[in-house]
Chains A and B, each alone.
Chain A
Amino acid sequence: MGGKRILELKNVNKYYGNNHVLKDVNLIVEHGDVWAIIGPSGSGKSTMLYCISFLEPIQSGEIFFQGKKFSEYAKLEIHESIGIIFQNYNLFPHLTVLDNVTLAPYKVKKIPMNQCRKKAVELLEKVGLAHKKDAFPHELSGGQAQRIAIARSLAMEPKIMLYDEVTSALDPELVQDVLEVIKDLAREGITSLIVTHEIPFARECTDYCLFMNNGKLEESGLTKEVLNNPKNVRTKEFLQKVL
């Protein structure tokens, strides 16, 4: 375990209108943890990630980042420190790959452009796509676009990376490249929360796992234990269906 608590959710509840989508969610994430988040569709996994990345508000409970409440931070600090990758990558279609990766550090963090470019090229090399830096998003395959989305988020040097079913929209042969990148990043020690359907990946690359169902966090613990000996009956049902 990494030690210090980097993220904590305490009795978090969220509603979309009258829909109770997150019910009393409690979670402790320590620095360097790699979590897999599994569960059926509509169970609130994505919603939880949006709340952690401050894209959606919560109605009750508290989220703590590095020991302090969210409300004690400026919104910008959270966005800079927590990166999120979406299922449909959402690259900016009117900008080249390089511009996609440099825009945020340049405009939000006000880092000089030549430094941004240098960092961007390093990150693109890390995800294996430096040769595509002048291409436009519509010229890329899904897997390539997703890896560039990861590079774009990494350019902001976040402390936590959130992945929202990032391989679900990809053709099978492209999935592996993206998972490799996520695996390498996790190994480098960046705290990661990965919503995924890829159970073999979860087994191989994550330390901890949590199961969400119907807005409730039903079970959490070491990945080996949750996946091999689930204690919760609903976890068992889900895993039986999926495996």
Chain B
Amino acid sequence: MGEAVIELFSGINLKDLVFMLKTGLPITIYLSIIAITIGTLVGFIIGWLRTIANEFFDSIILIFVDIIRSTPLIIQLLIAYHLPAFLGINITTILAGSIVIVLYFAANCSQVVKAGIDSVTFNQWRAAKSLGFSYLQQMRYIILPQAWRAMIPSYTGSALGIIKDTSLISVIGVIELVRSGQIVISRTLNPLPIWFIIGLIYFIVCWPLSKISRHLEKKAQFGKE
């Protein structure tokens, strides 16, 4: 059995591993960080706007958010690949793909943010208002501290998801972790161990993050009734 495993990994040398880690992994991490930072900001603004907008604007925003969340990410990336040529704009594939990924994560965040803010009971708004707090003060000291506790589970789940979803950009040719692995496979012609290694690298990156998020979830529950 041991020999079978060793045979499985034949043809792969350290150089391939280093190639994947030096060329592919940084792009994956880079895309993830871009998506999470910009996406959270945009998503927060959209989610917050939905809580103060009137019904008409809320419906309009909701239509866009729904479409982004109900379409497979891979199709959105494929569209992003062809759209610039159609519009006559000259941008790199990675930029087009990044924009799609950021918007996708932002759409998810907006849902999380709106649900979080909505979860704070109206009574809290009323109590804060009766003490003279302005809207901004209400949000900052009373509402958001309670809202973010509700947001944490969904938010960390989405963030973890987007790190994994960056793998889809390989389909439109961007060289990140998955694509770099495929380049190695094109040389060694031995796909299975490479896919195992790709999975392993993702696991090493994601698993600590999911442990941290579970820890945050627990902390968020303690101290609140």
Binding site for B on A (CB under 8 A): 53, 55, 76, 79-80, 83-84, 86, 88, 90-94, 103-104, 107-109, 136-138, 152-153, 156
Q: In the assembly, what is the distance between CA of A111 and CA of B134, in Å?
A: 16
Interface locus among B19-27, B137-145, B188-196: B137-145
Which of B123, B133, B146, B223 is in CB contact (< 8 Å) with A104?
B133
Beta-carbon contact of B149 and A94 below 8 Å = yes
Q: In the assembly, what is the distance between CA of A136 and CA of B145, in Å?
A: 15
Binding site for A on B (CB under 8 A): 123-124, 126-134, 137, 141-142, 145-146, 149, 223-225
Q: A residues within 8 A CB of B130?
A: 53, 55, 79, 83-84, 153
Can you name the residue of chain B whose Cβ is closest to the Cβ of A162? B130
Beta-carbon contact of B225 and A92 below 8 Å = no
Q: In the assembly, what is the distance between CA of A104 and CA of B134, in Å?
A: 11
Q: Known contacts A104-B132, A137-B225, A156-B132: does B142 contact A92 (CB below 8 Å)? A: yes
20 CB contacts below 8 A, A to B, read: A79-B129, A79-B130, A80-B132, A86-B123, A86-B126, A90-B127, A91-B127, A92-B124, A93-B225, A94-B146, A94-B149, A94-B223, A107-B137, A107-B141, A108-B132, A108-B137, A136-B225, A137-B225, A152-B131, A153-B130
Beta-carbon contact of B224 and A108 below 8 Å = no
Which of A90, A103, A152, A156 is in CB contact (< 8 Å) with B126?
A90
Nearest chain B CB to A153's CB is how many angstroms away?
7
Interface class of chain B by DSSP:
helix
Beta-carbon contact of A138 and B131 below 8 Å = no
Q: A residues within 8 A CB of B124?
A: 90, 92
Beta-carbon contact of A90 and B123 below 8 Å = yes
- Closest 9 pairs between A and B when the two form their complex, measured CB to CB: A138-B225, A79-B132, A90-B127, A104-B131, A108-B132, A90-B123, A93-B225, A94-B145, A84-B130
Nearest chain B CB to A137's CB is how many angstroms away?
6
Can you name the residue of chain A whose Cβ is closest to the Cβ of B223? A136
Nearest chain A CB to B121's CB is how many angstroms away?
8
Nearest chain B CB to A77's CB is how many angstroms away?
9
Can you name the residue of chain B whose Cβ is closest to the Cβ of A84? B130
Q: B residues within 8 A CB of A91?
A: 127
Beta-carbon contact of A138 and B137 below 8 Å = no
Q: A residues within 8 A CB of B123?
A: 86, 88, 90
Q: In the assembly, what is the distance between CA of A149 and CA of B186, in Å?
A: 70
Q: B residues within 8 A CB of A109?
A: 132
Nearest chain B CB to A104's CB is how many angstroms away?
4
Q: Known contacts A103-B141, A108-B137: does B224 contact A94 (CB below 8 Å)? A: yes
Q: In the assembly, what is the distance between CA of A60 and CA of B131, in Å?
A: 25
